[in-house]
Amino acid sequence: KPFGLCWQLAGLALSSPQEKAAMGADEETKPAAVAKEGEEAEGDFFYVCKKALESVQEKLKKGEEISQETVNQLAFPDTLPDEEPMVPVDMRGAGGDFDDVEQMVEKLGPKGAAEAFVKAF
């Protein structure tokens, strides 16, 4: 799974719903396809900042330019406060098979990458 590793490395992947509950994950931060006990999760989830995603959606709707910095804010939330809401996007819906965000931007450009994140949401 191309993007699965990204959010696992970010410490956002937990191996079971019980671990998610133990960590206090609420419904808004759980992936849409949390596996039931004994099942495997479907999807290739990547977590993005909710505010950044909403901002990108508005910029795209208005036809505004999407910069590399905008994509970085969306895809690399390392500097965000812990309490910042994150939402899962299923990268299977992004419209391509990419190994990572850098490859997606290289092939699609910043605007295309932003559109792929919105489409995957």
* Phi and psi at residue 87, to the nearest 5°: -125, 145
Helix ranges (H only) for the chain are 4-9, 17-23, 50-62, 68-75, 101-120
Number of structural domains the chain divides into: 1
Domain-embedded: residue 52: yes
Identity at 22, one-letter amino acid code: A
Q: What is the pLDDT of residues 49-100, one digit of tens each?
A: 999 999 999 999 999 999 999 999 888 888 888 899 999 998 888 877 888 8
| Domain coverage including residue 70 | 4-30+44-120
Find the mean pLDDT for residues 4-14. 42
Domain-embedded: residue 37: no
Q: Which helix (H) or strand (E) holds 116?
A: helix 101-120
Instruction: Provide the whole-model pTM.
Output: 0.62
By the 8 A CB rule, do 37 and 16 touch?
Answer: yes
Domain-embedded: residue 13: yes
**Pick the residue with more confidence: 8 or 50?**
50
Domain-embedded: residue 75: yes
Domain-embedded: residue 64: yes
